[in-house]
């Protein structure tokens, strides 16, 4: 309440200032002595410069002082220009009032020389922009231009509004300038279809609604929603009763009562137009939102162009809504009621029929009027010219009631005419339902009656060629008269190039601004003269006519009459077949498109169909086929024509079965019939799935991405893995990689690897199923499953990358792809195979996909040799096929170049066959050598590669030759040998003790010289020739166990050294002695270690591969390294 009273006080203060300044301007009592005025150029230049900078409060005092002290007569034109520039810098209310005071001071000194040019300049600056110039700009540039214009005109409008209140801008003697301001605003708002000037009206109403419209603030900002726009004055008056006293008496008002009332009605009407546009945009936005929702449900995503269009529409709607709310608050009018989504009767259909891709409810089933959504938008979403063109240009009367009555009368008359035609048509159809003899008897009579009806007055119908030969509109600007005629000529010249919806809609708007009776006649003449070879223009011309027909019905009526006349002429010229075939096609297509836009009355098109059906032969067969293809579906599914047109179709089928047509005509009629009336198909039954299964599919198919894989893994782990239903659903999803995006297959493999830690059996089952699917694809080789097979092969490679299967399975799969189904697994050149024909290159694609996925992993060791061997055979397999298509050839070249860029490519089948034979021979030889070495004795050289075998043989030979030259050594060194069981006797034991004592005695002197830290037995090594000799003797000595007469003994070799040669001597030790037992246990321990070392050497490559893959995985997870496979 306090704020409202404060506003009233502020308004009274502003009114007092305006009245005072108006009295000063009206008195014109400025007394100036010219002799005392300064005329120096410097001060005048400074004043003009200061005025250009701003007329605000900062420079106000100095400018007023200069105006009173300077002569100014010679600088009036510069001052007018500077005043306009200074006004543009005034942003606040104080700056605006300061500029008004400056202009008033200049007006009092120069009421004619200054005021008139200033008002003329202000009128020009506040003028509406040129529509032709704006239409030539792109949309983004147009928005920038509108925004700059509004920013430029905002301070000018505020200053002009004040000038009209203080008596500088006037409409006449002793009248304010209210009408001048109203005309300026009307011109701005009338020529603004995009509502870009709406902020100017909002700015004006915020500051000047009280003096210009007589509005005062009620108790609440808006009156009740039941109030009508026309009752604004009474509503505001009643609302203020008892709240605020009347601000001013009528004699104190600055704007006349009639101007205020007219101004108020103009603003109310404009608000009504904005409200209607807001409602339309709201419905469009809701429809677009619903279509986006349906598209998302059906396809799982919203395309980028659709999303951008929706965002642009939303932005425009929000801007319009904010402007409408501002106007509602300033005019104290209720906002229009906007329907919510829940109030709409139509609902989204999600089900079997919704999968067809259509996005409208009438199209949710196969029997819709339109084949797809694009066709529906083209024929039904027609723009309303009233939203883009002022009503005065369209010729719409202000009295809407009279227009409504006229429209109702016209519709009633048309309906009665249509009913009369329908009754007549039904009567004729009843006659057509008789048997064939009666039909043939009535045919001639009906044709004669029809000819009489067509030519009641005996006038000659013009030939169909006459429209095409009609003089085209002049295209030369020099020959065309200046003004609207020249613009119309330019428009008609652009129409043949308008081959999309946006261009033809813009052409309709442009023609609406040129609307006149003469222009409509020229347009009808032009539209009727479409070249017969430009049938692509007919749908767009029909849309052009449908857009204009709502407000210019004579265009559609006269064009339809012209086409009807042409149709009747063609019926009389049925015998002229070849020469008029293109004209008939153009006529039928034109009528069909106009019918779908509802420009052609339904009774007329049905009558034409009946005429062709009466003479069901020759050219009429083609006419009926073109009508059925063009508008048959529309007529059969429209409520007003379904029954009658269905009857005609039934009669056509009956006549077709009774008459004899050639094969071409039968094909035409069959195609046309089934195009307009396709056979009924049962809707596809959707598989019922549990909510949990739908949730799992949603996670994998929709949510799974690089950023969400951890979240998906956590959710999958939270499932009940003990439930067989859950396991079955997960197994189905994880074993069908073709149902997800191809780029997400690696993510599916990563999920399988992560789940392996917790559910290893599940991962094994996934790998088994993938291998089984690949095998089934090789066995069946069905073309429809090719996409699935590619995804399965890709999935297999990704599973190998994540270590869910070994390289053996990968190579088995590669070899299966090139050998399966061929005799003995060997492809033959150009030899047919039931599952792999020579002209079938799909297996080559599969191999390339698998090589692109895992080929870079096989770059070292035995896996590199395996892949090289396979690539040799793969080249042979490819050469066994016919010549590769270009795309397969490029794919093969890219794949091999990525993994083996220096590999030799074979050109002929002979070269490849020789290379394959050499590869197999080398592989068999290497396999044989490795087998012999693995079965040999345990030695220090067991881990060496086969190619070192020759070196070992050479070493052995050298050892045997050196064994003959060795000499005994006095230093005994005990070397452990293999266990032998010779069974020595007591005499042998005594001999052993004697010999042992002798050896110890002989070596006692030398042993003193030996360094304890480096004893001979710590560093001595048995010579290679002795080891070789003992190995040969071991086979004989090992048979000691079979001697029952001797106890078990162990043979030792004692090495002595004399000079530089070693000499070995055999020594038998009982097996039960401590030395033998200790030696035997040491031998066993050494053998275990040796076996372990052998196993490590054999498994070296496998361990190296595993460690590399583990390191790769850790780097991927820790460092988020993105691996890019080139192939």
> How far is 931 from 237, CA to CA, in rounded Å?
112
> How far is 256 from 60, CA to CA, in rounded Å?
31
Q: Which pLDDT value is given to residue 363? A: 37
Q: What are phi and psi of 472, to 5 degrees?
A: -75, 155
CB-side neighbour CA atoms (13 Å) of 414:
14
| CA terminus-to-terminus distance, the chain | 77
Task: Evaluate whether 601 touches 557 at the Cβ level (below 8 Å).
Answer: no
Q: Which pLDDT value is given to residue 998? A: 72
Q: What is the mean pLDDT of each run of 10 residues along the chain (1127 residues)?
A: 67 82 74 71 86 84 84 84 87 86 85 86 84 75 83 86 84 77 84 80 83 67 41 41 49 78 85 86 84 72 76 84 84 79 38 36 53 86 84 62 54 62 59 46 40 38 36 38 77 89 89 89 91 89 92 91 92 86 91 92 91 89 91 90 90 89 90 86 79 92 92 93 93 94 93 93 94 93 92 94 92 93 87 89 94 91 90 92 91 91 89 89 71 37 36 39 38 38 62 75 56 45 56 45 54 74 77 80 85 78 71 58 40
User: What's the pTM value of the predicted model, to 2 decimals?
Assistant: 0.39
Q: Which pLDDT value is given to residue 412? A: 63
> How far is 989 from 1010, CA to CA, in rounded Å?
30
CB-side neighbour CA atoms (13 Å) of 274:
33
> How far is 918 from 914, CA to CA, in rounded Å?
6
Beta bridge partners of 175: 172
DSSP characters over 933-999: HHTS---TTTTS-GGGHHHHHHHHHHHHHHHTT----SS-EEE----------HHHHHHHHHHHHHH
As a three-state string, the secondary structure of 521-545 is HHHHHHHCCCCCCCHHHHHHHHHHH
Q: Which pLDDT value is given to residue 1071? A: 79
As a three-state string, the secondary structure of 420-441 is HHHHHHHHHHHHHCCCHHHHHH
> How far is 866 from 876, CA to CA, in rounded Å?
16
**DSSP 3-state of 1063:** strand
Contacting residues for 31 by C-beta, under 8 A, at least 6 apart: none
> How far is 1124 from 1127, CA to CA, in rounded Å?
9
Q: What are phi and psi of 1062, to 5 degrees?
A: -100, 150
Q: Is 131 exposed, middle or buried (0-12, 13-18, 19+ CB in 10 A)?
A: middle
Q: Which helix (H) or strand (E) holds 454?
A: helix 436-454
DSSP tag of 356: G
> How far is 909 from 22, CA to CA, in rounded Å?
107
C-alpha distances out from residue 888 to 372, 775, 791, 847, Å: 35, 22, 17, 11
Q: Which pLDDT value is given to residue 112? A: 84
Q: Which helix (H) or strand (E) holds 612?
A: helix 602-614
Contacting residues for 527 by C-beta, under 8 A, at least 6 apart: 541, 544, 545, 559
Task: Give the dihedral sign, CA 506/508/509/511.
Answer: positive
Q: Which of 639, 751, 632, 618 is nearest to 696 (CA)?
A: 751
**DSSP 3-state of 1049:** strand
> How far is 128 from 190, CA to CA, in rounded Å?
9
Label the pairing between strands 973-975 and 1061-1070: unpaired
Task: Evaluate whether 159 touches 99 at the Cβ level (below 8 Å).
Answer: yes
Q: Is 724 exposed, middle or buried (0-12, 13-18, 19+ CB in 10 A)?
A: exposed
Task: Evaluate whether 879 touches 909 at the Cβ level (below 8 Å).
Answer: yes
> How far is 86 from 398, CA to CA, in rounded Å?
41
Q: Is 1024 exposed, middle or buried (0-12, 13-18, 19+ CB in 10 A)?
A: middle
Task: Evaluate whether 159 touches 90 at the Cβ level (below 8 Å).
Answer: yes
């Amino acid at each position: 309440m306090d704020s409202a009273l404060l506003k009233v006080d502020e308004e009274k203060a502003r009114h007092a200032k305006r009245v005072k300044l108006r009295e000063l301007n009206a008195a014109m009592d400025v007394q100036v002595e010219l002799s005392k005025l300064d005329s120096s150029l410097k001060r005048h230049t400074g004043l003009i410069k200061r005025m250009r900078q701003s007329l605000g409060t900062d420079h106000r005092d100095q400018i007023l002082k200069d105006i009173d002290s300077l002569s100014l007569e010679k600088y009036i034109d510069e001052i007018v220009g500077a005043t306009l520039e200074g006004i543009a810098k005034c942003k606040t209310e104080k700056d605006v009032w300061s500029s008004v005071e400056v202009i008033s001071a200049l007006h009092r000194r120069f009421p004619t020389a200054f005021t008139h040019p200033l008002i003329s300049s202000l009128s020009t600056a506040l003028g509406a922009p040129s529509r032709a110039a704006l239409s030539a700009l792109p949309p983004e540039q147009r928005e920038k231009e509108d925004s700059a214009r509004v920013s430029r005109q905002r301070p000018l409008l505020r200053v002009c509004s004040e000038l009209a209140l203080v008596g500088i801008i006037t409409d006449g003697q002793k009248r304010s300038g209210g009408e001048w301001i109203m005309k300026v605003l009307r011109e701005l708002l009338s020529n603004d279809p995009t509502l870009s000037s709406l902020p100017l009206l909002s700015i004006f109403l915020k500051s000047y609604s009280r003096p210009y419209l007589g509005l005062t603030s009620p108790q609440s900002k808006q009156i009740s929603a039941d109030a009508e726009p026309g009752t604004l004055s009474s509503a505001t008056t009643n609302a203020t009763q008892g709240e605020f006293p009347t601000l001013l008496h009528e004699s104190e008002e600055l704007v006349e009562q009639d101007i205020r009332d007219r101004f108020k009605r103009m603003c109310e009407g404009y608000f009504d137009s904005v409200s209607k546009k807001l409602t339309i945009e709201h419905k469009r936005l809701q429809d677009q939102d619903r279509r986006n929702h349906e598209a998302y449900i059906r396809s799982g995503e919203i395309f980028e162009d659709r999303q951008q269009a929706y965002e642009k529409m939303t932005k425009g709607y929000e801007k319009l809504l904010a402007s409408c709310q501002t106007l509602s608050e300033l005019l104290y009018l209720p906002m229009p009621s906007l329907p919510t989504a829940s109030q709409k009767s139509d609902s989204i259909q999600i089900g079997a029929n919704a999968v067809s891709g259509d996005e409208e409810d009438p199209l949710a089933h196969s029997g819709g009027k339109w084949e797809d959504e694009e066709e529906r938008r083209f024929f039904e979403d027609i723009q309303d010219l009233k939203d883009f063109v002022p009503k005065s240009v369209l010729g719409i009367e202000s009295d809407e009631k009279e227009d409504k009555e006229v429209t109702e009368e016209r519709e009633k008359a048309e309906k009665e005419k249509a009913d009369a035609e329908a009754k007549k048509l039904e009567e004729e159809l009843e006659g057509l339902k008789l048997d064939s003899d009666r039909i043939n008897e009535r045919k001639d009579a009906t044709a004669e009656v029809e000819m009489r009806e067509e030519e009641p007055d005996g006038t000659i119908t013009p030939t169909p060629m006459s429209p095409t030969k009609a003089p085209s509109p002049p295209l030369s600007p020099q020959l065309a008269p200046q003004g609207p005629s020249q613009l119309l000529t330019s428009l008609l010249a652009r129409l043949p190039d308008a081959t999309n919806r946006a261009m033809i809609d813009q052409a309709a708007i442009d023609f609406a601004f040129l609307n006149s009776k003469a222009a409509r006649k020229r347009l009808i003449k032009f539209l009727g003269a479409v070249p017969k070879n430009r049938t692509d223009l007919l749908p767009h011309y029909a849309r052009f006519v449908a857009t204009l027909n709502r407000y210019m019905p004579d265009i559609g009526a006269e064009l339809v009459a012209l086409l009807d006349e042409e149709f009747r002429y063609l019926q009389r010229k049925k015998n002229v077949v070849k020469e008029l075939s293109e004209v008939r096609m153009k006529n039928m297509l034109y009528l069909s498109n106009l019918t779908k836009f509802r420009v052609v009355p339904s009774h007329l098109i049905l009558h034409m169909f009946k005429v062709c059906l009466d003479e069901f032969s020759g050219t009429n067969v083609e006419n009926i086929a073109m009508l059925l293809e063009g508008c048959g579906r529309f007529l059969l599914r429209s409520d007003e024509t379904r029954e009658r047109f269905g009857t005609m179709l039934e009669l056509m089928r009956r006549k077709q079965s009774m008459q004899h047509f050639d094969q071409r005509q039968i094909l035409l009629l069959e195609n046309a019939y089934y195009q307009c009336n396709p056979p009924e198909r049962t809707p596809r039954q959707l598989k019922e799935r549990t909510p949990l299964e739908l949730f799992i599919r949603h996670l994998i198919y929709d949510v799974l991405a690089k950023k969400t894989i951890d979240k998906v893994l956590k959710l999958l782990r939270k499932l009940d893995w003990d439930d067989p239903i859950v396991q079955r659903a997960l197994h189905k999803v994880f074993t069908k990689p073709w149902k997800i995006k191809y780029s997400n297959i690696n993510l599916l493999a990563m999920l399988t690897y992560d789940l392996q830690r917790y559910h290893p059996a599940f991962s094994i089952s996934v790998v088994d199923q993938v291998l089984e699917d690949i095998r089934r694809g090789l066995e069946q080789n069905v073309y429809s499953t090719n996409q699935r097979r590619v995804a399965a092969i890709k999935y297999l490679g990704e599973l190998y990358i994540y270590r869910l299967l070994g390289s053996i399975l990968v190579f088995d799969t590669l070899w299966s792809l090139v050998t399966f189904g061929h005799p003995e697994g060997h492809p033959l050149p150009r030899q047919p195979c039931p599952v792999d024909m020579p002209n079938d290159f799909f297996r080559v694609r599969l191999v390339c996909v698998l090589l692109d996925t895992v080929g870079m992993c096989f770059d070292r060791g035995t896996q590199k040799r395996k892949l090289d061997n396979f690539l040799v055979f793969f080249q042979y397999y490819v050469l066994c096929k016919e010549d590769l298509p270009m795309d397969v050839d490029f794919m093969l070249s890219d794949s091999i170049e990525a993994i083996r860029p220096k590999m030799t490519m074979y050109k002929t089948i002979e070269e490849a066959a020789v290379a394959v034979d050499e590869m197999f021979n080398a592989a068999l030889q290497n396999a044989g050598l490795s087998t012999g070495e693995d079965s040999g004795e345990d030695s220090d050289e067991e881990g060496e590669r086969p190619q070192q075998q020759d070196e070992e043989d050479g070493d052995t030979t050298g050892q045997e030759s050196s064994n003959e030259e060795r000499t005994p050594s006095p230093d005994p060194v005990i070397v452990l040998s293999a266990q032998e069981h010779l069974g020595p006797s007591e005499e042998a034991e005594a001999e052993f003790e004697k010999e042992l004592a002798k050896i110890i005695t002989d070596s006692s002197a030398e042993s003193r010289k030996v360094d304890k830290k480096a004893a001979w037995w710590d560093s001595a090594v048995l010579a290679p020739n002795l080891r070789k000799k003992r190995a040969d003797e071991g086979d004989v000595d090992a048979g000691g166990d079979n001697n029952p007469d001797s106890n078990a003994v162990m043979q030792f070799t004692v090495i002595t050294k004399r000079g530089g040669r070693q000499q070995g001597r055999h020594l038998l030790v009982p097996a039960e002695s401590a030395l033998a037992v200790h030696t035997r246990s040491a031998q066993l321990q050494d053998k275990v270690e040796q076996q372990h070392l052998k196993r490590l050497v054999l498994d070296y490559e496998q361990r190296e591969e595993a460690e590399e893959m583990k390191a790769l995985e850790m780097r991927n997870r820790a460092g988020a390294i993105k691996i890019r496979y080139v192939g």
